[in-house]
């Protein structure tokens, strides 16, 4: 019996071995256990599919990031062009101002020249009248002299007139006549000089009027240039708005690909809460959130290593994550900026750097009641932003100039005019953020 069993076992093993060899010879597929083979094949297909999906996601992320970078570069270039146009607009305005001064000066000179011409005309009228009077007197003297010379010598000898008196009278008349002639000549000379001065003044006035015409034409040309430049600025600002809307959509898509995504209604609720507790205007907070993190849709696409944050900040970042029971290796932070030198590492909707967050933790906890506060938590993040902005005088009184300064301080730590573009962008979205909620 034992021999029979051993024999059967040996026969079974031999058949099994033969079948195995035969199966491999038929194409390398082991078909003795098809279910096991199929399961192994399905697992391999699933792994390949999963890898393909991951590769596709990575490609899409890279493409989206490249598109964002291209749009950001276009925005930066357009903003530089706007800045140049604004400088040109300022120069045009200065030219208009100085041209207007020249116009006013020329008009004043024309008025003064006109007044001088009128005075000269009055002087001429006076001289003409004086000349006529002198001529009339001279005529009378001439007639008197004439009749005096006609006196008869016989009358003189007969004693009708004293000879010396007669001669004296004649001499006196002759002297008067000579003086009158000289006076008339002087009047004529004065008239000639005044007439020449009047002609010169008329020529000066004509030149001044021509200059005024030129200045007016220049001013009109400057007004035209100003209108054209302002139109170009308006068009470029409209282009920036379109690009910002485009980049917002791209960042929203990127956030979905990267993971964490916030709902816009939650953002408004968080901004409303932060506004009530800190006094910072809600719309101003919404404008900041649009610019900083696209209303929370884009809070960063890098891990702590790719952010290039300093060792000092890395340590604080790890401590923050440890306190919140987060795996610091998986938490997303902002990437290094592409438009200027710097590092990434900003966290959450408020985009606080780890050391800045650490400095505000107690204040945030006192407002939200979360201890420790979470930079990736919507309520904590927006409250942190509001607390920082509220430190700038005038912000809680809702003064736009103070809000602009606060925005610049938030970005750069200064209120330099170099960052006016950022403050203006924040205030624009403070007024228009609802466009992104539709």
Range(s) of the domain holding residue 348:
261-436
For residues 295 and 152, state if they share a domain: no
Q: Please name the residue that has the structure tokens 């030219």.
A: 95
Distance of CA 4 to the CA centre of its chain: 101
Whether 202 and 117 have beta carbons less than 8 Å apart is answered as: yes
Residue carrying the six token digits 């000269």: 120
For residues 381 and 308, state if they share a domain: yes
Q: Which residue has the tokens 């006013």?
A: 104
Within a domain: 323: yes
Is 288 found in the same domain as 184?
Answer: no
Q: Are residues 206 and 322 in the same domain?
A: no
* Three-state secondary structure readout of 305-352: CCCCCCHHHHHHHHHHHHHCCCCCCCCCECCCCCCCCCCCCCECCCCE
Closest CA to 278 of 160, 399, 363: 363
Give, in degrees to the nearest 5, the angle at Cα 161 between 160 and 163: 135
Query: E strands, 222-332, where?
Result: none
108, 16: one domain: no
Q: What is the pLDDT of residues 304-329, one digit of tens each?
A: 999 999 999 999 999 999 999 999 99
The count of structural domains within the chain is 3
Q: How confident is the model at residue 400 (pLDDT cuts 50, 70, 90)?
A: very high
Domain of residue 180, CATH code: 1.10.287
What is the average pLDDT value for the chain, to the nearest integer?
Answer: 78
Q: Distances from the Cα of 89 to the Cαs of 85, 222, 223, 227, 229, in angstroms?
A: 6, 10, 10, 9, 6
pLDDT for 195 equals: 81
Q: Which residue has the higher pLDDT, 52 or 370?
A: 370
Pair (43, 89) in one structural domain: no
For residue 249, being part of any structural domain is answered with yes
193 or 268, which is more confident? 268
Query: Is residue 212 domain-resident?
Result: yes
End-to-end CA distance of the chain: 87
88 and 23 in a common domain: no
Q: By the 8 A CB rule, do 282 and 272 touch?
A: yes
What percent of the chain lies above the pLDDT cut of 90? 28
* 156 and 282 both lie in a single domain: no
Neighbours of 389 (CB within 10 A): 25
- pLDDT score of 156: 45
269/414 same-domain check: yes
Is residue 378 within a helix (H) or strand (E), and if so which, with residue range?
A: helix 378-390
Question: Who contacts 51 (Cβ-Cβ below 8 Å, separation ≥6)?
Answer: none
Using an 8 Å Cβ cutoff, are 87 and 158 in contact?
no
Specify whether the CB–CB gap between 257 and 366 falls below 8 A: no
Residues 25 and 154 in one domain: no
Of the candidates 267, 307, 306, the one whose C-alpha atom is nearest the C-alpha of residue 437 is: 267
Q: Which of 253, 278, 298 is the last residue of a domain?
A: 253
Residue 327 neighbours by CB under 8 Å, 6+ apart: 321
In this prediction, residue 301 carries a pLDDT of 84
| pLDDT winner (highest mean) among 4-8, 163-167, 193-197, 284-288 | 284-288
Q: pLDDT at residue 109 above 70?
A: yes
- 113 or 279, greater pLDDT: 279
Residue 13 lies in a domain: yes
Q: 3: which 2 tokens?
A: 């021999």
Q: Which residues pair with 302 in a beta bridge?
A: 333
Tell whether the torsion through CA atoms of 407, 411, 416 and 419 is positive or negative: negative
319/420 same-domain check: yes
DSSP 223: H
How far apart, in whole angstroms, are the C-alpha atoms of residue 365 and residue 348? 16
CB atoms within 10 A of CB 100: 14
> CA 274 to CA 270: how far, in whole Å?
6
């Amino acid at each position: 019996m034992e021999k029979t069993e051993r024999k059967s076992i040996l026969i079974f093993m031999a058949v099994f071995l033969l079948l195995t060899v035969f199966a491999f010879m038929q194409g390398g597929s082991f078909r003795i256990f098809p279910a096991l083979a199929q399961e192994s094949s399905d697992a391999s297909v699933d792994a390949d599919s999963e890898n393909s999906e991951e590769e596709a996601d990575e490609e899409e992320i890279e493409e989206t990031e490249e598109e964002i970078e291209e749009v950001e570069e276009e925005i930066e270039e357009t903003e530089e062009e706007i800045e140049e146009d604004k400088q040109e607009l300022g120069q045009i305005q200065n030219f208009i101002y100085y041209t207007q001064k020249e116009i006013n000066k020329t008009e004043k000179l024309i008025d003064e020249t006109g007044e001088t011409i009128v005075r000269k005309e009055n002087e001429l009228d006076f001289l003409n009248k004086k000349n006529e009077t002198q001529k009339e007197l001279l005529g009378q003297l001439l007639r008197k002299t004439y009749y005096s010379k006609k006196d008869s010598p016989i009358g003189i000898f007969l004693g009708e007139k004293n000879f010396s008196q007669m001669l004296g009278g004649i001499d006196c008349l002759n002297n008067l006549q000579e003086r009158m002639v000289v006076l008339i000549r002087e009047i004529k000379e004065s008239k000639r000089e005044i007439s020449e001065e009047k002609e010169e003044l008329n020529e000066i006035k004509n030149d001044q009027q021509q200059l005024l015409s030129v200045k007016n034409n220049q001013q009109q040309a400057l007004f035209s240039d100003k209108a054209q430049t302002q139109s170009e600025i308006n068009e470029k600002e409209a282009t920036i708005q379109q690009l910002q809307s485009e980049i917002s959509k791209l960042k929203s898509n990127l956030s979905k690909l990267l993971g964490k995504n916030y709902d816009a209604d939650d953002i408004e609720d968080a901004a409303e809460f932060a506004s009530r507790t800190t006094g910072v205007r809600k719309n101003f907070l919404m404008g900041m959130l649009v610019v900083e993190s696209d209303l929370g849709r884009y809070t960063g696409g890098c891990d702590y290593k790719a952010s290039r944050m300093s060792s000092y900040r890395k340590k604080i970042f790890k401590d923050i994550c440890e306190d919140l029971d987060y795996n610091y290796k998986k938490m997303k932070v902002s990437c290094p900026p592409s438009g200027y030198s710097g590092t990434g590492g900003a966290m959450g909707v408020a985009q606080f750097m780890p050391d800045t967050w650490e400095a505000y933790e107690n204040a945030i906890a006192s407002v939200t009641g979360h201890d420790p506060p979470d930079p990736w938590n919507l309520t904590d993040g927006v409250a942190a932003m509001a607390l920082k902005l509220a430190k700038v005088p005038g912000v809680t009184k809702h003064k736009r100039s103070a809000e602009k300064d606060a925005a610049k301080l938030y970005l750069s730590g200064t209120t330099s005019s170099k960052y006016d573009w950022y403050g203006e962008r924040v205030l624009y979205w403070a007024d228009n953020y609802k466009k992104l909620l539709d």
